[in-house]
Chains A and B, each alone.
Chain A
Amino acid sequence: MTAILGRAFLLLVLTLYTAFAAGPFIWAAMMSLRTTTEISNSHFGLPLPAHWEKFPQAWFNSNYSVYFANSASVVVTAVAILTIVGAMAAHCLSRYRFAGNRFVYFLIFSAIIFPPQITIIALFQTLVNYGLYNSLVGLTLVYVAVQLPLTVYILESFFARIPGDLFDAARMDGYSEWSIFWKVSFPIALPALATTVILNTILLWNEFLYAVVLITDEAKRTLPLGIQRFMGDQLEDVGMIATGLMIAIIPVVLIYAFFSEKLIQGMTAGAVK
């Protein structure tokens, strides 16, 4: 009896939490299929009839295709660089004993404590000096720099748990340090790498502050800036914002679904033993 009560209580809590977490998402999804006029008439109405045509409309007429391409190129490049450079740094810091190892580690890590608002003006000035202001390359570099400390931090603790004997075995098997990184460390660390890929993709895909400060051209806007364009001073095109949101969210959901599968696989396979 108490067991049933316990389960019921658990179910209740989970239901409430799910409603709390998924509610806004479902609400936005419904609004994405309704026009702004319909929405202002009834905020929580069902999308009947569903205006599917809003998606192609947003994509082609409201420039979302450009925003999407910009976001994709910036985020994919930044995440790729972050993953490889982060893994190399983590491998190096966790595996090689050299003077100043911990100092370098602390230096990288200490960058985490500064909120972006403090560094952004200096960053802005630096980018202007190097001709990287208002360019996607500049934004990509900033994203790499901003996310690298946390990436190295997460990966270092994982790499440090890979037994040193594996590297010694690979050395006895005739492999160079470079090959050992690619053929031993990197594949073993895939679960941790998947974690940082998800984390970085989601954070950067939704990143707004750096983008709004460092990008001005309409043609270089990323998705969060594109959505912001529909938030006017007086009149907000709520319907279109919701459609844009949905376009922005879908890739994140896909990435998460794909990589979290890998993540769980990697962990249950006992990758490090």
Chain B
Amino acid sequence: MATLTLDRLSKRYASAREVAVSDVSFTVADGEFMVLLGPSGCGKSTTLRMVAGLESITSGDLLIDGARMNDKPAKDRDIAMVFQSYALYPHMTVHDNLAFGLRRRSLPRDEIARRVREAAAALGLDQLLQRKPHALSGGQRQRVALGRAIVRHPKVFLFDEPLSNLDAALRVGMRGELAALHRRLSATMLYVTHDQVEAMTMGDRICIMENGSVAQIGAPLDVYAAPADTFVATFLGSPAMNLLPATLTTGGSALQLGSQSLPLDGPLAAAAARAPARDVLFGIRPEDLRPGDAGASLRARILDVEPLGAETIVRLCPEGLGSEMLMRVPRTFSGRPDEIATIAVDLAASHLFDPATTRRI
């Protein structure tokens, strides 16, 4: 078990002009499940591969339990990694795939056999030990890849989008199994994904990356409730948070949205007081809008109603405003396109962003 620390880690590929990862810093506590989340190409894999020792570190420090790892080769870092492609050795049986990493470490034979048996039992691979990877289903291959990491009893587990090659149903199942595995082993894990559902459900904390840098780090619900900037605000949550151009009235006691205005009080009024300019972006999540006129409300034209079954997504255009917003409501919603509806806005759950810096105010 171990603590993993990344200190201003940067990477520039020899063939590239721009840095792929710049100044990424965070600490994964002993036994913590940390998720690296971000859109494709933002540098998640690169960060993970630097931790693994598969890519050299351009600058910054990598520490495991306080010891600097920058110059240690991958094989001496005692880290196990699960690859997106599973990377099972095609010429070896499941048993040999699991035992391969242990043989190198010259463990006694019966210890190897014991660990392989244990992992196989835990992952339900007992009956498949003599099969070759090509004779396994996607889900089974995924388990073998997991097993190969588990048998090693490493200090740190790394995962690079391990579930993205599974079909949707299997993915949900494996998500639960991975979370259970983490609880059982209480091991230090760093998990890369571009899937926000995986990040929200599995991570103790998530680190959101954008263009090679860290955008925000925190517990999933904290980040969801208080996104640091518009990128995080729109990346997390589906449908994404509504961002509407707005103007603060003089004195900052109200927010002008087109021709309508919302009174400000509480934290939002405090934020308004901090705003560097009168132009702001008003951010509110679709589920924080409701039909009705309790509290602050806006009048909006219904553009579109999309029933999804469990809930309904409504596309709205606030009167006097050029932009659209989405509202998430129960399936009992009865509004129709082209009607004008009154929409209650939960101001306590909304945010102001600075359009110049994109940061939350």
Contacts and interface: CB of A to CB of B under 8 A. Distances in A.
A183 B103 CA distance: 12
A173 B91 contact: no
A165 B83 contact: yes
B79 A272 contact: no
Chain A binding site: helix, strand, loop or mixed by DSSP? helix
Interface in A244-273: 269-273
B85 A171 contact: no
A166 interface: yes
Nearest to B73: A171
Nearest to A179: B104
B102 to A, nearest CB: 9
Interface of A: 163, 165-166, 168-176, 179, 183-184, 187-188, 190, 269-273
Interface of B: 49, 52-54, 73-75, 79-81, 83-85, 87, 89-91, 100-101, 104-105, 132-134, 148, 152
Given A270-B134, A273-B133, A175 B104 contact: yes
A188 B90 contact: yes
15 contacts: A165-B84, A165-B87, A168-B52, A171-B53, A171-B73, A172-B54, A172-B75, A173-B75, A173-B104, A173-B152, A188-B89, A188-B90, A271-B91, A272-B90, A273-B90
Given A270-B90, A272-B90, A169 B83 contact: yes
Nearest to A167: B87
A172 B133 contact: no
B54 A171 contact: yes
A25 to B, nearest CB: 36
B52 A172 contact: yes
Given A168-B52, A171-B75, 20 more contacts: A163-B87, A165-B83, A168-B81, A169-B87, A169-B89, A171-B74, A172-B52, A172-B54, A172-B101, A173-B100, A173-B101, A173-B148, A173-B152, A176-B75, A179-B104, A188-B90, A269-B90, A271-B91, A273-B90, A273-B133
A167 to B, nearest CB: 9
Contacts of A269: 90, 132, 134
Given A172-B81, A173-B100, A166 B89 contact: yes
A171 B87 CA distance: 12
A175 B132 CA distance: 21
Contacts of A173: 75, 100-101, 104, 148, 152
